[in-house]
Structures are given as structure tokens and as C-alpha cells.
Amino acid sequence: MTQSNGIYIITCMEDKELKKEIRRLLKERNAILLAHNYQRDEIQEIADITGDSLGLSIQAGKTEKEVIVFCGVHFMAESAYIISPHKKVILPRMDAGCPMADMIDAKKLLALKERHPDGVVVTYVNSSAEVKALSDICCTSANAVKVVQSLTNAKKIIMIPDKNLAQYTAQFVDKEVVYYDGFCPTHHNLLERDVIKIKRQHPDALFIAHPECRPEVLELADHICSTSGMYSYAKESDKKEFIIGTEMGLLYRLRKENPGKKFYLASKKLVCPNMKLTRLEDIYESLSNMSNIITVPKDIRSSAKAALDKMLAVPRD
């Protein structure tokens, strides 16, 4: 490791040493390390908390730490700042974006609202802060159905940006659901034939799918749930084999928490390039230099937080 003009540069450091240095820096900076369920195994291994995007942001808001290092993608770090604007939020890789979140922006949402002036906008948390700010309420993959059901006075729902989550939700609500033509490329790449093939290879395995998958893929699922739901389902099930229909990063914790069970990825295509961008070196450098700080303009933050707060107010089971 060398230093030039106050900037630390990694010259040659083994993963073991890097992990040790990262933990040292976290303590020194009074920071917490959050890792999304889709992050690399070695990052999940040293994280203080792993989980889904909103769950991590909520946890970050509860911590007394002054700095939040969010290993995920851009909209997740934004959500952490929206909830905790008094903290410093670091995104180790500024180029870690979300293709689905990028499919819609404020201009496109305003045009959609003009076409459906009687629609209530329900926005998936996998979206930018400016889009959340123009929304009536947010939702997650775990509570989308409950959120829409809670809107008792609404007859028409505009769900953005994920059409697959919207179509899944529409099956359980007595409302018109207008959806935007967005999707998660990683989940959308999982095809019906991929699932049929692996189910034949592992006939005793249960297929668990994420609601971001295509409708025809969800029809083949034994259980449909969010990433957090998959952890609970696998742990509580008496079954010993599972086919996982979401990003491969989930396998690390599933296998760690269920050593007596087997997990198979539904397809080798289930890899999110953006989630895999962050490396130990990126965490080390951003913490060393206190760089890649994420903020959201005050007016956007206020409106986006209102949409998130409305979602959090929806009763859970």
C-alpha cells in the first residue's frame, strides 16, 4: 500500500489482509458495512448486516454509526440517505447502477400519470429518488400485494417500473393495474425452458422464484417470494433440495444457514453484473479516502421519504 497526495492506493494485498484492514477502517470511521444479498461472497462474509435493499436502509437508520458503507447499487445508497440524511453514505462503486431503475425517469413517469390521471402510483423501491419523489407510495417485492390492497379508495393502480412484479401483484387485488414496460434483465433472462430443464435434473427439489421473474416462470414455482422470504422458506421447509430463481448471490447465505440442504441455481444466467462490480478493494479505497459520498437534493428527499413512509405504515402480518 502506498500513499500519494493523501490518496491510498492498493499495490498488493491479499484478501485476508484486505478484510482485516476494512474492518479496522470501519471501526476507525465509526462506520457500518451493509451488503445486499446479491453481493460477492467475500463481501457478504465481512458485512455487519446482509439483506434486501430496503431492509438494509431501515437497519442503517437505526444504527448509531456515523457512516454507512452500502455495497449494492445506486438507488439503494440513495434510499439509505433518504432515510438517514444526517449520516454519510458511501457507495464503493459509483458505476454500480440498476438497469431496471434506469428504465424510467421523472419525465416518463409524468407522461404516464398524464395518460392515467386517476391512477395511484405505486413505485417499487428499485427506482431512483426522483421517481420515488413523484410517487404516491412505494413497495417492495415482499409487500407489493399488501401495499396495493391497502389503497382501498383507489380503483386504478400505476405500478412501476417492473412489469413482472406488477402482473404478479394484479392476480391478488381487485383493482385495475396499469404497468410500465420495465424489468430486471437478470430475472427476465430466466426462461421457462431453463426451469423445466433443471426441474428434470432435480425432480425432488422445490423451485423458489422471485416475483421479478416472467409470469410463465412464476407459474412453474412451488413458492414465490422476495430474497428475504427465500431465506426463511428454505430454513423452515422440511425439504432438502431447492432450485433458486433469483441472483446467484443468494446461494452464499442459503448454504451457510442450511448446511444439510442442497441449493441449485435455476440458470447460470442469474448473475447481475452491477451487483458484482463491488470488490474488497473498492470498499477499502472508498473508506480510506471517504469518497463516493451519496446525497439527494432536499426537495426530492422529502417527497421520496413521504412515499417510503406511507409504505412502512402499511400493516404487516
Report DSSP state, residue 73: -
Give the up-direction half-sphere exposure of residue 311: CA atoms within 13 A in the CB hemisphere.
27
d(CA 57, CA 291): 19
- Mean pLDDT of the residues in the chain: 94
- The pLDDT tens digits of the residues spanning 208-228 come to 999 999 999 999 999 999 999
For residues 299-303, average pLDDT: 98
Report DSSP state, residue 62: H
| Cβ burial 274-300 (10 Å sphere, 16+ → b, else e) | bbbbbbbebbbbbbbeeebebebeeeb
The whole-number pLDDT of residue 282 equals 98
Higher pLDDT, 54 or 154: 154
Query: From the DSSP assignment, how many helices (H) and strands (E) are in the chain?
Result: 16, 15
Which cell numbers in the block locate residue 28? 476507525
For residues 58-65, average pLDDT: 88
For residues 64-68, average pLDDT: 95
SS3 79: helix
The whole-number pLDDT of residue 1 equals 45
The whole-number pLDDT of residue 217 equals 98
Sign of CA dihedral 273, 74, 95, 91: negative
Which cell numbers in the block locate residue 181? 414496460
What does pTM read for this prediction? Answer: 0.92
pLDDT at 8 over 70: no
Which cell numbers in the block locate residue 304? 421520496
In angstroms, how far is CA 18 from the centroid of its own chain? 25
Sign of CA dihedral 207, 100, 295, 312: negative
In 3D space, the residue among 40, 46, 47, 70 whose CA is nearest the CA of residue 58 turns out to be 70
Beta bridge partners of residue 245, listed in sequence order: 209
**Cβ-based neighbour number of residue 260 at 10 Å:** 5
Share of the chain above pLDDT 90, in %: 91
211: preceding bond cis by omega (within 30 degrees): no
Give the up-direction half-sphere exposure of residue 210: CA atoms within 13 A in the CB hemisphere.
30
As a three-state string, the secondary structure of 126-180 is CCCHHHHHCCCEEECCCCHHHHHHHCCCCCEEEEECEHHHHHHHHCCCCCEEEEC
The whole-number pLDDT of residue 5 equals 42
Which cell numbers in the block locate residue 138? 412505494
Domain architecture of the chain: domains with CATH: 2-97+275-296 (3.40.50.10800), 100-183 (3.40.50.10800), 190-265 (3.40.50.10800)
